[in-house]
Structure 1
């Protein structure tokens, strides 16, 4: 039975799983879960992941959620090249170190900028106070500084001279505010050079395929059905405002 990937490519963790599977020629069936349609709350998907989040996978009778766990599972099961999740203890530790840090840093702050910049004002028609936007950008800038100075340093990639799953997880998060209209690469030549190396390693066509939906985020936010967004409104307001 072919591996089933439950994804919505608006979601940055879904993009990392998609890129990894495609780049490594892992056979899979793409199961679209439209987040802004609320499909993650459907009864059938909750059988795959009871916490109603993507990405998730089904491999025969086995189901798994959480993008980092999924990437590790695919690397181990399908015997992908060692550089993705190195066997070397210290290189793997570098990958794990970044993956352990990023949840409350790059991921959180990049997502917040996208919501405050696009989805809340355009899709929910709520004015975002300037101080909220300024604070979010300050947090993101701080995380990007740590990423460059600690996790990247003078290396080509996070774990050394070759790309790893840590780099995939990082780039999809950093592209989130970029496509919201904040050029996070401006004035950061080291970050921009890393992005260019990563894109070349993945392949520009695959990179753009994975990001095609989020590239159109401003237009998407304007055209979202406001009535469908109402269900998300209380939680989003509490979380970000």
Structure 2
């Protein structure tokens, strides 16, 4: 099998890439990289990805180290339905618009809440600073409002009438936050409807790929 996918399911963009392959039945050799064990810092992995991050794909001798570029590459190389990354210039540009926006918005702010609410407390044994966390949560909600008021204002999906790789990135970003037990869609019916729709489209692979995040969520609720 030529295509290798290096990933850790704690990583939002890595989950998006794995999900895309599974939903579209793209054959690949899974190469899990345990970030918690610092396996990304090994000399072997550094030769594959000099940035020492996930996800990475290796297709024969060809390598890609950025999730957006990976999703675009896979959508164009494999015979996947056009709605994932439309060939129509304007439709494709709308998908690119979200993917350019999400780096400093959905991706950054949802990940920041996840890090401060889940990762750092688990690593240090110290609860988060409530004032600092509140600021991060408020910033995240500003981003979620933009998702609803701009990207989901007139369409059922982030970039049109059908699911695309933009929705794949978006749903993994939003789902990241639930690991703490936080209900990120509370009071947001538009976002709730969108998340329900996308999860249904990605079933059963969505729950499979997010099983670790959901275990963290269930543990947080129990505590």
Q: TM-score, normalised by structure 2?
A: 0.94
Counterpart for residue 56 of structure 1 = 56
Provide the C-alpha distance between the structure 1 equivalents of 2:76 and 2:9, rounded to a whole number of angstroms.
Answer: 23
Following superposition, the deviation at residue 101 of structure 1 comes to 0.6
Describe how 1:19-38 pairs up with structure 2 within 5 A: 19-38=19-38
Following superposition, the deviation at residue 2 of structure 1 comes to 2.2
Unmatched segments (≥5 aa) in structure 2: none
Describe how 1:1-241 pairs up with structure 2 within 5 A: 1-203=1-203, 205-217=204-216
* Greater mean alpha carbon deviation, residues 119-128 or residues 207-216: 119-128
Give per-residue Cα distances to partners, 1:83-138, cap 9 Å, x unaligned.
Answer: 00011111111100100011111111111111111221232123432210110011
Going from structure 1 to structure 2, the CA distance change for 1:207 and 1:140 (only over 3 Å counts) comes to same
2:5/2:58 contact within 8 Å kept: yes
Following superposition, the deviation at residue 35 of structure 1 comes to 0.5
Following superposition, the deviation at residue 202 of structure 1 comes to 1.2
2:118/2:179 contact within 8 Å kept: no
Number of aligned residues: 220
Following superposition, the deviation at residue 182 of structure 1 comes to 1.6
Provide the C-alpha distance between the structure 2 equivalents of 1:130 and 1:100, rounded to a whole number of angstroms.
Answer: 31
Q: TM-score, normalised by structure 1?
A: 0.88
Give per-residue Cα distances to partners, 1:148-199, cap 9 Å, x unaligned.
Answer: 1111113111121110000000000000112222211111111111111111
Counterpart for residue 233 of structure 1 = none
* Greater mean alpha carbon deviation, residues 32-41 or residues 110-119: 110-119
Going from structure 1 to structure 2, the CA distance change for 1:11 and 1:220 (only over 3 Å counts) comes to farther
Provide the C-alpha distance between the structure 2 equivalents of 1:220 and 1:52, rounded to a whole number of angstroms.
Answer: 29
